[in-house]
Amino acid sequence: MITNPQDMTRKEGAFEREPARRVFATELRECRYQFKDGEDEKSPTFVLLPTGERSNRIFIVGTLTEKTRQGEQNIFYRGRVVDPTGTFFVMAGSYQPEAMQQLAKIETPAFVAVIGKPNLYQKPDGSFMNSVRVESITVVDKDTRDLWVLDAAKQTLDRIDIFNIGTAPDVIKTKEQYPNSDPAVFRRAAYDALAQIKM
Amino acid sequence: MDYSEAAERISRKFSKSGKAVDVKKIEGKLRRLVDEFGVQPQEAERSVTNELNKEFNIPTAGSGGGSKAGSGNEEKKIAEGVPGDWVTIVGKVVALSAPASPSIAQSGIIADESGAIRFVAWAKSNAPAMAEGSWYHIESAVVDEFKGVPNLKIHSGTTVKEISEDRSLIPTPVPIKDLHPGIAGVRAKVIQEWDASHERMLQSGLLGDETGTIKFVIWKEPGKEKLVVGAVYTIFYAQVDEFNGRLSLNLNTATIMQEEGDIPVSGGETAVQGSIVHIAPGSGIIKRCPVEGCNRALSRQNYCPIHEIQPKFVYDLRIKGWLDDGEKTHNILLQRDVVESLTGITLNAAKEIAENNPLGMDEVFLQVRDKVLGRYVICHGREIDGRILVNTCERVKFETSEHAALLNRAGGSS
Ligand SMILES: [Zn+2]
């Protein structure tokens, strides 16, 4: 393999990209707690997943069923992405021009892969609204959707295993923040999602 | 006894594992133990350390001799010394390096049959000057850690005596994948030479053996020579450093012997499965500098940072991006053949688009992006300096057996 030396020596420094968690809609919908890691203005913001892990970024694959253009001066797009367990509310505004262009072009319905930031918003009536700020959205095939269901199920079950051990700092935080949360619900959701894929 | 130095040493040990300790308090305790209770300095240090261990619920590792006073006089093999130990060793000075500061009289590497360690003799230690190639009996020195690398400190309480001995030491090379910070030897091939990133740098590049690859660096110093790319070397007494979780070999202290022949280098092979979550700018079709040996990516204006305007550029395809498995995100670089087989877009087809589509090269970027972003792939390649140079990249296939296993697992008792 010929390697260009220039491609090699460039350092990204100590920069670590936050991983994209695999989470079903039914779990993301239950998030009630959002926090910053660090004092810095640029410190990443996380939502705490009820299975006991922080998430700054998520990766979802589902069906884009609806898309609406909104706003007069500040145009933005909203969309609904459906997985076997529920619905994700996604949005892309002028701060994510590439994502907005991608979303604008997609004809519904379509299987889409979304990389984005989970965002928790408390409405004036006290109820919570979870949405996903899109970093990128691409049309994919059904195979990718099925692979995602396996992936999301596996990672949900992995998180539940760690939750049941109970010693990880994020798990302890989760038990404080969501005292009534029952991981069995999310195990059941993972099972139902898997069962919807035809053998 | 230098109380503040000892207190610093203890505090460093704990802060490494995330425990904050009060240095002034430790210093006070040491002083009290030694001055008021007549405890030997090394025993005082050990006792304060153990007390803190208890406080933090850290089990005291390998208590062999742990409670024995004066065990600093116990002769140890160099490889057995762990940070915090007071040791007495017999070893051969195999390298001397220029002291980094006036407070240091001498520094270098001392070795025995078990291994080698960097040593530092403080100016105030009044230790006799040691000579490369000679053997010494060093009594009551302290092993500590500097940037994760064990270090033998020769201080005012240490006795250094030259001994007559001329055993020859034959160190064993270590497989690259088993290297850890400290002093070590490898038998490896120079796989790549990189552009020097610093004017004091003589050479940097990549060494590989059957088990892996590691970055190496040689700093400019009288008598230092560059390694030859493609040649195999046996290297002893190199310093393995760690920076940002990555290891590198500093060869300035090393004994280097070029060898005949070749060795297989399959090293650094990794496989990562996940989804492609980002395609970075500079992916798609690019133009490269045609000057022999340069091959740098040109700017939009066909400008090479070294060779300026190059209208006779060469087209190439690549993808720079991030592959994410849900736990960790890996920086990946896919070269032309891998991009072609993953996207189905050949370099020729990309060239057509770049030259005829109104969006030009941007259109190639968009088409490449739309074909790979969000897809599950498995990449095989070599991880070099935090980036995977991908040799093959294939779409992941749906496995019915995995589906069945997951259904089982999810349906199992909670
Ligand atoms: Zn050039």
Whole-structure pTM value = 0.61
Residues A83-93 pLDDT 10s: 999 999 999 99
- B168 phi-psi bin (left φ>0, alpha ψ -120 to 50, beta other): beta
pLDDT of residue A177: 95
Locate the domains of chain B by residue range. 4-56, 71-163, 182-259, 269-395
Q: Which tokens is B26 given?
A: 């430790």
Query: What would the CATH number be for the domain defined by B71-163?
Result: 2.40.50.140
pLDDT band of residue B217 (cuts 50, 70, 90) is very high
For A9, nearest residue in chain B (alpha carbons): B194
pLDDT of residue B4: 85
3-state secondary structure chain A: CCCCHHHHHCCCCCCCCCCCEECCHHHHCCCCCEEECCCCCCCCEEEEECCCEEECCEEEEEEEEEEEEECCCCCEEEEEEEECCEEEEEEECCCCHHHHHHHHHCCCCEEEEEEEEEEEEECCCCCEEEEEEEEEEEECCHHHHHHHHHHHHHHHHHHHHHHHHCCCHHHHHHHHHCCCCCHHHHHHHHHHHHHCCCC
Check CB contact of B19 with chain A, cutoff 8 Å.
no
Check CB contact of B413 with chain A, cutoff 8 Å.
no
Q: Do B278 and A136 touch (CB under 8 A)?
A: yes
Query: Which of the two residues, B110 and B170, has the higher pLDDT score?
Result: B110
pLDDT band of residue B382 (cuts 50, 70, 90) is confident
Residue labelled with tokens 């949900």? A156
Locate the domains of chain A by residue range. 5-196
Q: Which of A66-70, A130-134, A186-190 has the lowest mean pLDDT?
A: A66-70
Task: Give the separation between CA B110 and CA B121, rounded to whole angstroms.
Answer: 12
Label residues A12-45 b or e (16+ Cβ within 10 Å = b).
eeeeebebbbbbbbbbbbbbebbeeeeeeeeeee
Task: Give the separation between CA B284 and CA B317, rounded to whole angstroms.
Answer: 5
| Residue B414: pLDDT over 90 | no
Q: Output Rg (C-alpha) for chain B, integer angstroms.
A: 28
pLDDT band of residue B338 (cuts 50, 70, 90) is very high
Q: Which tokens is B372 given?
A: 């790979």
pLDDT of residue B245: 62
In B188-207, the residues whose Cβ lies within 8 Å of chain A are: 192-195, 197
**Mean pLDDT of all residues in B240-268:** 83
pLDDT of residue A170: 94
SS3 B295: coil
**Mean pLDDT of all residues in B56-85:** 60
- CATH class assigned to A5-196: mainly beta
The contacts of residue A84 (CB under 8 Å, 6+ apart) are A24, A149, A192, A193, A196
pLDDT band of residue A15 (cuts 50, 70, 90) is low
pLDDT of residue B268: 62
| Rounded distance from Cα A59 to ligand 1 centre (Å) | 39
Q: Which of B94-103, B280-289, B335-344 has the lowest mean pLDDT?
A: B94-103
Residues B286-308 pLDDT 10s: 999 999 888 889 988 899 988 99
Query: Which of the two residues, B158 and A154, has the higher pLDDT score?
Result: A154
Give how far A41 is from chain B: nearest CA, Å.
23
The H or E element that residue B25 is part of is helix B23-31
pLDDT of residue B326: 95
Q: Which tokens is B385 given?
A: 């300096």
pLDDT band of residue A133 (cuts 50, 70, 90) is very high
pLDDT of residue B66: 35
Task: Give the separation between CA A114 and CA B270, rounded to whole angstroms.
Answer: 27
pLDDT of residue B7: 87
pLDDT of residue B39: 63
pLDDT band of residue A116 (cuts 50, 70, 90) is very high
Q: Do A160 and B414 touch (CB under 8 A)?
A: yes
Task: Give the separation between CA B334 and CA B331, rounded to whole angstroms.
Answer: 10
Quote the CATH superfamily of domain B182-259.
Answer: Nucleic acid-binding proteins (2.40.50.140)
pLDDT of residue B72: 55
- Judge contact between B245 and B214, C-beta under 8 A: no
Q: Which of B59-63, B167-171, B272-276 has the lowest mean pLDDT?
A: B59-63
Average pLDDT, chain B: 86
For B196, nearest residue in chain A (alpha carbons): A9
Check CB contact of B302 with chain A, cutoff 8 Å.
no
Q: Which of A1-15, A97-111, B255-269, B281-295 has the lowest mean pLDDT?
A: A1-15
Query: What would the CATH number be for the domain defined by B269-395?
Result: 2.40.50.140
Q: Do A115 and B278 touch (CB under 8 A)?
A: yes
For B193, nearest residue in chain A (alpha carbons): A5
* Topology alike, domains B71-163 and B269-395: yes
CA torsion sign for B81, B87, B91, B95 is positive
DSSP B145-183: EETTEEEEEE-TT-EEEEE---PPP-PPP--GGG--SEE
pLDDT band of residue B74 (cuts 50, 70, 90) is low
Residues B22-64 pLDDT 10s: 888 888 888 877 776 666 677 778 778 877 877 777 765 433 3
pLDDT of residue B80: 81
The H or E element that residue B69 is part of is none
DSSP B201-223: EEEEEEEE-SS-EEEEEEE--TT
ipTM, interface predicted TM-score of the complex: 0.91
Residues of chain B with C-beta less than 8 angstroms from the C-beta of A59: 275, 277, 324, 326, 374
pLDDT band of residue B65 (cuts 50, 70, 90) is very low
Q: Do B297 and A6 touch (CB under 8 A)?
A: yes
Residues of chain A with C-beta less than 8 angstroms from the C-beta of B203: none
pLDDT of residue A57: 97
Q: State the alpha helices, DSSP H only, in B34-94.
A: 41-55
Q: Are strands B182-194 and B201-208 parallel, antiparallel or unpaired?
A: antiparallel
User: How far is C-alpha B351 from the geometric centre of its chain's CA atoms?
Assistant: 40
For A13, nearest residue in chain B (alpha carbons): B244
Query: Which of the two residues, B141 and B81, has the higher pLDDT score?
Result: B141
- Judge contact between B356 and B350, C-beta under 8 A: no
Q: Are strands B314-324 and B284-288 parallel, antiparallel or unpaired?
A: antiparallel
Task: Give the separation between CA B409 and CA B401, rounded to whole angstroms.
Answer: 12
Residues of chain A with C-beta less than 8 angstroms from the C-beta of B404: 199
Which DSSP symbol is given to B357? S
pLDDT of residue B38: 61
**A and B: number of Cβ contacts within 8 A:** 133
pLDDT of residue B68: 36
| Residue A28: pLDDT over 80 | yes
Check CB contact of B375 with chain A, cutoff 8 Å.
yes
Q: What are the φ and ψ backbone dihedral angles of A61, each rounded to 5 degrees?
A: -130, 130
From the candidates B330, B334, B414, which should be mutated to test the interface with A, based on the most A CB atoms within 10 A?
B414
Check CB contact of A106 with chain B, cutoff 8 Å.
no
| Rounded distance from Cα B288 to ligand 1 centre (Å) | 8
**Mean pLDDT of all residues in B126-138:** 91
Task: Give the separation between CA B143 and CA B343, rounded to whole angstroms.
Answer: 55
Q: Which of A115-124, B50-59, B66-75, B238-247 has the lowest mean pLDDT?
A: B66-75
SS3 B250: strand
